[in-house]
Structure 1
Amino acid sequence: MKKHILLLLFTCFTMIAFGQTELRNLTVENLSNPIGIGVKTPRFSWKLVSSKRNVKQAAYEIQVKEGKNTVWASGKVASEASIFTKYAGSPLVSNAKYIWQVRVWDNQGKTSKWATASFGTALLHSNEWKATWIGSGLKSDTVNGVVPMFRKSFLANKKIASAKVYVTSRGLYEVQINGKRMGDSYLSPGWTSYDKHLQYQTYDVSNLLSEGKNAIGVLLGSGWYRSRLGWENKQNIYGKETGLLFQMVIKYADGTTETVVSDTSWKASNSHITYSEIYNGEVQDARLEQKNYSVASFDDSKWSTVVSKDFPTNYITAAINEPIRKHENLKPIAVLTSPKGETILDFGQNLAGWVKVSVQGKAGDIIKLSHVEMLDKKGTPYFENLRSAKAQAIYTLSGNGIETFEPHFTTFGFRYVKVEGITGKINPDDFTAIALYSDIKKTGAFETSNAYINKLQSNIRWSQRGNFLDVPTDCPQRDERLGWTGDAEVFSRTAAYNFNVDQFFAKWLIDVAADQKENGAVPFVIPNALKGSFFDMPVGAAGWSDASIIIPYNMYVSFGDKEVVERQYPSMKAYLNYVRGAAKNDLWNTGFQFADWLSYRVDDSKGMIGMKSAITDNYLVAQCFYAYNTEIMIKAATLLGKTDEVQEYQSLLERVKKAFQTEYMTASGKLISETQTAYILALQFDMLPENLRAQAVERLVKNIEGYEYHLTTGFLGTPFLNPVLTRFGRNDVAYKLLLQDTYPSWLYPIKAHGATTIWERWDSMKPDGTFQDPSMTSFNHYAYGAVGDWMYRTIAGIDTKEAEGAGYKSIIIKPEIGGNLTYAKGSLETNYGLVSSSWRIENNKFILDVEVPANTNATIEFPTNKIETIKENKAVLNAKTKTVGSGKYHFEMEL
């Protein structure tokens, strides 16, 4: 025993002393040990970890095996590439499990141990679907009718080695096998442009099956497929009939296989869910529940036979993104009584999800939960901003002891819940609010010495959680909840700091291309649930439709994922061509525009005394975004080696800027719109001649001073406000705007009204405690949270170089101090590992700690002009900047 302990200690000591490189976080297609990828040439990534400095990968070797057979041996490849290395072996087969391992050689002569992970394939060819679409055939199975149940029993008369299920639906499915729920995902298969793009999910159900009799049970809700979407009460947008497609492949111990599929041998019946709809909520009657309907012994003799459907399968693909899962559980922080005597639970946090409740009562008792975001200043639940969404969960008790309820196929946006139907004193422990959102992994952390800024960061993160339910929505509560492209576009870079959203956006961008118009215009919401409405126009709008160009490139910059740009490039190009066609002489001054949506208006909250509305010319905004799109297309074409198109777009960009200067600028550089947004966009996208930019900055600053250091920007100006000020040396003004706590500002909702998420309007609740126009007042709307990007990049100082180091291969550490902050720290789990920047000020001394992951480098720029005082540990640097390799670094300097 002593020998073993000594050997272990010696091994650990040796690894620490000699800094052996380890490999961690192995992923395939951005997923850890996925079981159902549908990619024929998947991409492998891994992270190097070493306690030594300046470690880089010099070479790698990958081996992939199926069973005992090696299907790919890369051999030793001299390369630093450790992310998105593409498979190059024998063709993968469907429904198989592969073990892969990787080792690396570093630049210091060390070889890592082999690191091992796995991945499984789904159905790699569409003709491998043996299942057929089935519908319930029940008369009650309508958009607002009873949720149907499906059932199938079967025999497995051999010892089972493994089993997988491939399943999707037109609607939302929930599966049980032998009385146990399959998987931990919710609202599957998610929301896509169902008539053009439908994903299926893969589940390992080996532990749910048993030798002998087995049974499958499925609930199938209307979900996004046929519930009404949007505010015009349009239902059945993708079809009137839901459907199930289910295929289970069982592998027996003797090497044989058996397939169980959806077909007309299945049966159907009504469930106890008598109503389920995205906006209105769900109604359940426990007295109607057919318990144990998914166990083999259940008597289904009174169930009816299902009907087959000829729905297509040619565009069904394996899911590439993370499913929606349950996350935070919150208990009420207070039980309140409104002036009307209503009982209200306060969960302390605005979130998207639902409430799980355990109650006891008589058969026929009805419990009603009504969800709202806010109480008015009298303490009454504020339902008006839900518009026509009822947002209720209604449960009828069976009377059989303690009963537990939660919804299946709906969600709510709420902080408060009005409870009806419970007699006597409510026990808050009987209620749990559960947050639901896509299972994107947290990557960023950010904190400062200012509690309000920390709360702002928390609110940004919670709004992202509440609106990243398979689709990046605008809000989670009212009769909307749509994938507005403008909201997603302005927030995408901030989103990529907080969470790993590479696959989340990759999936959504497929629908962007699928719903793109023939002329290249991109709808304002994706999936395009507004078909046939006023907003379903064959035109593009600046800042909205160009999410098709901006987001793919942002994902490349944030994650180093070139394939997203490759796949989306035809869509990106088609949209730019649309804009070129809509423009006249390179001036985009036609068509509908949202422009700087929800910018400051005097009539909002009665305005600030003596101030004027900050309305920016619609087409000035459009021209700036025309340039922005063109600039990104230059970068994308360069990335993909499209030399001719690079030259074409460079020439176009020059003409677009010249047209801007002719149309919107005087000879002295004054813009036709004297607003913050006008100058911000003109400066951000270099629309002004270089010799006129300084005066533009002064005009911008004077405007901000004229509004007493309040911002007046809307959705399109806000993301660039602080970055422009920082870029042009006015970080002092940027910090004043960030720390402003009266309306309009980022901190006003927090300080005045205790906001826990980002609001749609700067004054969704006005200073006097009344509400903005309820027709468009959301309290969970992440667009203005786009300032989070600046907070990470400027306060913590963490950024990446685009051209030579996207995805944090080449890192920038450049903290900018201000706002009387005494410390700030930020970190980001990149595809290479953890980057962190932590600084504090003590006795006029600036102390900076930096961590750089292996296989990368970082350029650190110090926020002092006293270069002679900059020290790393005790060594004087005598330089304003320092480029370092991986490792942990400690710097001190005088300010």
Structure 2
Amino acid sequence: MSTSQRRAVARSRSKGILLTTAILTALSAAAPGVAVAAAPNHAPLAPDHLTVGDQSRPLEVEGAPQFGWQPLDVDPGESQSAYEIVVSRAATASGAAQQVWDSGKVTSADEAYVPYGGPALADGSSYTWTVRTWDRAGAASKWAALASFDTGITDSEWKASWIRRTTGEKDDYTLARKEFTTGASQVVRARLYLSAYQQYQAYINGKLVDRGPAYTYTDEGYYQATDVTQDVKAGGANAIGVLYHWYGPGQGRPSDEPGMLARLVIDHADGSQEVVLSDGTWQVTRGPWLTQSYRNSDGRDYRESVDGRLAQAQEGWTLPGFDASSWQAPSVVGVHPSGVFTHLQAQQTRLSYQTVHPVKVTTLADGSAVADFGRIIPAMPQISFAQGQSGRTVSLQAGYVLKPDGSVSSSNHDNQSTNLSYSYIEHDGAQVFQAYTYEGFRYLQISGAGEPLDASSIAAEVQHVAEDPSRAATFTSSDPTLNQVDDLLQRSALYDTQEQFLDTPTREKGQFLGDSVDISRALMAGSGDRSQTAKAIREFAESQKRYWPDGRLNAVYPNGDGKRDIPDYTEMYPGWVWDYYLNSGDRSLVADTYQVSLNVADYVRRYIDPATGLVTKFAGGSGAYVNGIIDWPNRYGYDTATTVRTTVNILAVDVTGT
């Protein structure tokens, strides 16, 4: 029985507890020797928790959809014996819903990653689907409540142009906008498709509607689709605004080029359709960020400094009617695919955001406010000022540790050799400083504000991968310390899962293979998220195709220095794929990456000594990692001069099975 089936049975039992109790009571009351009739079979309940590609409402499904659901039954010990799926084209302004596929009754216990088997679905379209199940006795459930999904768009369907602001800036914050007028008929469906390198925020008529990362190579790019039906106004002026940030190469970011691509499709009740595309008619300008130095030499993030006076001058840039006469026309690369931007695929994951306030704020003798958020968080500081003064610079210092005088430590030792400071130049009056890039920290010191600050005016926007709380594991024991350890482990895995799996949200934000495997296993078990793991597994598979014909994988991917491996990390890959399958039941990913795992196995076998059966003189790696040796032996006095290394051979068994 699968994990989801066990969860279903547990839930079914809780729903049927009164019935079960009544039956047991009747059995116990029966006289000895009196035959008792078997409990009647009950038909299954309608399935719930319907998913497509493990997502509840995806908007950019590519290829054949994969369906999932949770079967429910009040009878103890039940299991699904068959299912039937029906998929329909969603109703539109010009027509009613139309059925496109009925699987018929399929004898199977499968209830996750069940493949669609009908005719090809139209791109960029909305569909509904439902499912019913049969139990062991052959009783059928009712149909599940309709669920929905949208199909994605292919490279040739964008019709939009990659645009950018012509600049030699390494840390590039660009504002891009476009005004347009819609027809008077009611907007019944609107979808915004967007991609930007390397990070963006998208607005419709002043409302933040989407945030997206694109930390990948421009021939492996990602896009996201967003439902903006309620945000586009019919019969009037509208505006799209996109703030995109190009960091340049670094940990987790390849060396490529900046650019932004947008496609907005608007369907009206009268059957008409309007399409707004990124092109040379857009306007661009630099955002109010000032040039700064790196936070450290590892992650190569830049310090963040915002000029609030420039921000005030640009206020309203995401709204129609804004005066952008001083802005410039963008540089147009060409209609997608064009230049280095050769391929886009749907983003499999999203980030979630939560604004939190400190649990305690202390005012130092110099007037600085020190906020304690109670735990380490990956977040972006947010400060509300009531009495700003034009030109006054406010300094913010984030950190992990307080100094004896109560101020936040900025030492390299305490902050992973990372400059965790921000700065903000005020304009007159009330205003809010909102950082754009996140860091890991617990404490935040605000100095030079010129006014008292408390917990209501200090906040942090916590970000991590968007997980489904209903899937989260629970653990409770009589030992409070054990409970806290479990909470710490689950939270750490969640907080280390951002646009990618991270080495750390502070010093090295790159997606290292070994770290990814560890975090992935904890995330799947603790939060029930499998999408980030599937995405990372596919990305590391691409690293083999790009760099390693001998079967190795990159140690960190994507990355600014391109080709780099740690042999032990390569060995972790096949077992990781198998762990994903055991957690998800997704056979398609195993099949898609099977050759990659075979290549890894061949790579390992080439270095097995026939005389001993052990891996020796393992080729690969560099510096401290040459021949395969990873952090823990290297840093704790292990003998690294041996020909046969224990960690390499333990992992080799996992790869080869011998």
Shorter-chain TM-score bucket reads 0.7 to 0.9
Counterpart position of 1:743? none
Counterpart position of 1:414? 441
Deviation at 1:514, TM superposition (A): 1.3
Report the TM-score when normalising by structure 2: 0.83
1:356 matched to 2:382: yes
The structure with the greater share of residues assigned to helix is 1
1:566 matched to 2:597: no
Structure 1 residues 712-731: aligned runs within 5 Å: none
Give distance in 1, aligned partners of 2:80 and 2:66: 18
CA deviations 1:833-884 (Å, max 9, x no partner) are: xxxxxxxxxxxxxxxxxxxxxxxxxxxxxxxxxxxxxxxxxxxxxxxxxxxx
Q: SS of the residue aligned with 1:165?
A: strand
1:54 matched to 2:77: yes
Q: SS of the residue aligned with 1:513?
A: helix
CA deviations 1:505-543 (Å, max 9, x no partner) are: 1111221011121221112112233336xxx25xx422x
Structure 1 residues 372-411: aligned runs within 5 Å: 372-375=399-402, 381-385=409-413, 386=415, 389-401=418-430, 403-408=431-436, 410-411=437-438
Deviation at 1:62, TM superposition (A): 1.0
Deviation at 1:388, TM superposition (A): 5.5
Counterpart position of 1:499? 527
1:629 matched to 2:655: yes
CA deviations 1:400-429 (Å, max 9, x no partner) are: 32x122122x11110111221123543132
Counterpart position of 1:446? 475
The one-letter code sitting in structure 1 at the alignment partner of 2:264 is M
CA 1:28–1:255: 2 relative to 1, 3 Å:
same
Give distance in 1, aligned partners of 2:359 and 2:454: 10
Q: SS of the residue aligned with 1:471?
A: coil
CA deviations 1:376-409 (Å, max 9, x no partner) are: 56755153144553222222222132x122122x
Counterpart position of 1:526? 557
Q: SS of the residue aligned with 1:208?
A: coil
Deviation at 1:117, TM superposition (A): 3.3
Work out which of the residue numbers 260, 269, 289 in structure 2 matches 1:244.
Answer: 260
Structure 1 residues 654-673: aligned runs within 5 Å: none
Conserved? CA contact 2:165–2:330, under 8 Å: yes
Q: SS of the residue aligned with 2:356?
A: strand
Work out which of the residue numbers 452, 455, 471 in structure 2 matches 1:428.
Answer: 455
Structure 1 residues 135-534: aligned runs within 5 Å: 135-137=164-166, 139=167, 142-145=169-172, 147-159=173-185, 160-183=187-210, 186=211, 188-192=212-216, 194-211=217-234, 212-223=236-247, 226=248, 228-229=250-251, 237-239=254-256, 241-275=257-291, 279-289=301-311, 290-309=314-333, 310-320=338-348, 322-327=349-354, 329-335=356-362, 337=364, 343-360=369-386, 361-375=388-402, 381-385=409-413, 386=415, 389-401=418-430, 403-408=431-436, 410-442=437-469, 443-478=472-507, 480-516=508-544, 517-531=548-562
Question: What do you get for the CA RMSD once the two structures are aligned?
Answer: 2.7
Give distance in 2, aligned partners of 1:148 and 1:125: 26
Give distance in 2, aligned partners of 1:554 and 1:429: 44
For structure 1, the 5+ residue unaligned runs are 1-11, 231-235, 603-612, 632-652, 654-895
Q: SS of the residue aligned with 2:225?
A: strand
Greater CA deviation, 306-315 or 66-75? 306-315
Counterpart position of 1:557? 582
CA 1:428–1:599: 2 relative to 1, 3 Å:
farther
Give distance in 1, aligned partners of 2:445 and 2:596: 46
CA 1:117–1:127: 2 relative to 1, 3 Å:
same
Conserved? CA contact 1:34–1:118, under 8 Å: no
Give distance in 1, aligned partners of 2:635 and 2:559: 30
Deviation at 1:312, TM superposition (A): 4.1
Counterpart position of 2:30? none
Q: SS of the residue aligned with 1:445?
A: coil
Q: SS of the residue aligned with 1:556?
A: helix
Conserved? CA contact 2:44–2:134, under 8 Å: no
Counterpart position of 1:78? 107
Deviation at 1:215, TM superposition (A): 1.3
CA 1:341–1:384: 2 relative to 1, 3 Å:
farther
Deviation at 1:342, TM superposition (A): 6.1
Give distance in 2, aligned partners of 1:626 and 1:547: 9
Deviation at 1:121, TM superposition (A): 3.0
Identity across matched positions, percent: 24
Deviation at 1:109, TM superposition (A): 4.4
Give distance in 2, aligned partners of 1:316 and 1:74: 31
Q: SS of the residue aligned with 1:444?
A: coil
Report the TM-score when normalising by structure 1: 0.62
Deviation at 1:73, TM superposition (A): 0.8
Q: SS of the residue aligned with 1:469?
A: coil
Conserved? CA contact 2:48–2:144, under 8 Å: yes
Deviation at 1:107, TM superposition (A): 1.9
Counterpart position of 1:707? none
Conserved? CA contact 2:112–2:584, under 8 Å: no
Conserved? CA contact 1:196–1:514, under 8 Å: no
Greater CA deviation, 198-207 or 210-219? 210-219
Give distance in 1, aligned partners of 2:239 and 2:85: 41
1:595 matched to 2:629: yes
Deviation at 1:588, TM superposition (A): 2.0
Give distance in 2, aligned partners of 1:76 and 1:365: 70
